[in-house]
Amino acid sequence: MAKTNSITEAPQHVGYDRAARKAFFTDTSICIGCKACEVACKEWNRNPQDGYELSGNSYDNTGSLGADTWRHVAFIEQSEEQITKAREEGAKLVSLGMPSVGAGGNAETTQPTQPAQLAQSVTPGDTPDFRWLMSSDVCKHCTNAGCLDVCPTGALFRTEHGTVVVQDDVCNGCGTCVAGCPFGVIERREDGGVSKRDDRTKRGEDFTVGEVAPIKNIGVAQKCTMCFDRQAIGEGPACAKTCPTTSIKYGSYDEMLATAQARVKELHAQGMTEARLYGANSEDGVGGTGSIFLLLDAPEVYGLPPDPQVPTANLPTMAKRAVFAAAGLIGAVAGAFVIGGRS
């Protein structure tokens, strides 16, 4: 059973019911890595660019989720060594249809015409010696959110949609939430230093079209809000609205969960038995998430923890042990005084 306590919230106590909760379903099996979602997210939320340095990874200069990147698309490179090891462990990897370098053929002569050829053409083949897996990561909006648990100012709050959002004007930039997130999603937007935000000056005022937009919320914790402002006017998140392949879907939690489960069943029927869901288990260490992912390999391959744990889940046990330890220490000190007085 999921670990909960007086600090972490049970799903039935967070102020929303399952019907009202909203969620993402990200199907990485149809993601093409175009990064339209990344761009749309930055455009809508006026998040600054991450720089133009080479990261050493395929088509990736944003690097990871953070204060400036709330939706991150990556090409997960799998080398021959990794593929061989996965096969030895029993994984049934299949080709994802990635482009390869080799001798081309005549389209007229290579086009399947017979029923047997047609059936074979839609069956996933063995994966080649190199392949890409697509990753489209975003804040998990955990049911039991560690960032929300540890925030000392109340800057983080749970919306009526079940999402976790930062109140920019309340956050003091202490960074406690950064350590509280088991996924490393939330970060403080830096301004070149490590000083805390010590003023209430408004940042990022409206600007003239054509000018460089000022960076807003410097020194404040930032992360995906599932476009809370768009939800308020009946619009979906910018990333889901922009995705050209419908890899990113948005809707009620129950609807997204059902869609995800049906998609996994479909892929298994096609022979892609390594397909699995991530974040859909309400009994995991964060009570399930509001961002459900379909993965084609183990979570670790995508840089995701296999069994995430909200860091505050063990607080009651730790508090009891601390009380017992303090009582023991006081007893030992008192005993020492008594014995010393008698001698």
Q: Which residues of the chain have pLDDT under 50?
A: 1-7, 11, 101-112, 117-124, 192-203
**138 token code pair:** 């975003």
The pTM of the full predicted model, rounded to 2 decimals, is 0.74
Residue among 49, 37, 39, 265 nearest 135 (CA) = 37
Is there a single domain that holds both residue 177 and residue 326?
A: no
What is the model's pLDDT at position 247?
A: 95
In a domain, residue 322? The reply is yes
Asked whether residue 247 is domain-assigned, the answer is: yes
Residue 246 located in a structural domain: yes
Same structural domain, 253 and 192? yes
Question: Does one domain contain both 39 and 146?
Answer: yes
246 and 135 both lie in a single domain = yes
**197 strand-pairing partners:** none
What amino acid occupies position 317? T
Angle value at C-alpha 300, between 296 and 302, nearest 5 degrees: 55
**pLDDT, tens only, 271-283:** 888 899 999 988 8
Tokens of 183: 């996924």
Structure token digits, residue 303:
């840089």
Query: What pLDDT is recorded for position 107?
Result: 41
Q: What is the pLDDT of residue 189?
A: 86
State whether 318 and 304 are in the same domain.
no
- CATH, residue 26: 3.30.70.20
For residue 308, the number of C-alpha atoms closer than 13 Å in the C-beta half-sphere is 28
Give yes or no for a contact between 255 and 263, defined as CB atoms under 8 angstroms apart: no
Boundaries of domain holding 335: 313-343
The residue type at 2: A
Whether residue 230 is found in the same domain as residue 89 = yes
Compute the distance between CA of residue 130 and CA of residue 93 in angstroms, rounded to an integer: 11
Predicted pLDDT of residue 313: 66
Are 255 and 325 in a shared domain? no
Looking at the structure, tell me whether residues 266 and 247 fall in a common domain. Answer: yes
Pairing label, strands 187-188, 248-252 = unpaired
Give tens-digit pLDDT for 12-58. Answer: 555 555 558 899 999 999 998 899 999 999 989 988 877 666 666 66
What does the pLDDT read at residue 292?
95
Q: How many domains does the chain have?
A: 2
pLDDT confidence of residue 6? 45
Tell me the C-alpha distance between 162 and 15, whole Å. Answer: 8
β-strand partners of 23: 251
Token pair recorded at residue 10 = 């049970």
Do residues 296 and 337 both lie within one domain? no
73 close to 37: Cβ distance less than 8 angstroms: yes
For residue 139, the one-letter residue type is C
The answer to whether residue 114 is domain-embedded is no
Q: Are residues 52 and 150 in the same domain?
A: yes
Q: Is residue 268 part of a domain?
A: yes
- Residue 202 is predicted with a pLDDT of 47
